[in-house]
Amino acid sequence: MVALSVLPPGDQVTFPRLQDLVGMTPGNLSTHLHKLEDASYITITKAYQGRTPVTYVTLTRAGRQAFEDYTAALGELLSAANHESVEEKL
């Protein structure tokens, strides 16, 4: 999902390019993508370029919002943990 977060909603990336970005095996990436698709965070589209099949992955608006919500919650958690750590030292 992190690699897709750089895409504006509606933009797409090919499966091999995404695989290069995240460094996952095709099987592992496919498993993760199907879970994200089931949650409506991405869409997966199969097409052809000439005779070559190509799989495109697109981040949805819901996916972008879920990622932003996640990063905001993570930021709050880290901020709270850092604040508690500072108070313990005093």
What's the confidence (pLDDT) of residue 89?
Answer: 66
Question: Would the pLDDT of 6 be above 90?
Answer: no
Domain ranges (residues) in the chain: 3-89
State how far the Cα of 19 lies from the Cα of 17, in Å rounded to an integer: 5
**Is the pTM here over 0.85, yes or no?**
no
Q: What is the fold, at CATH topology level, of the domain defined by 3-89? A: Arc Repressor Mutant, subunit A (1.10.10)
The model's pLDDT over 32-83, given as tens digits with 9 standing for 90+, comes to 999 999 999 999 999 999 999 999 999 999 998 998 999 999 999 998 888 7
Q: Are 55 and 15 in contact (CB under 8 A)?
A: yes
Of the pLDDT bands very low, low, confident and very high (cuts 50, 70, 90), residue 5 is confident
DSSP 25: -
| Across 16-26, average pLDDT | 92
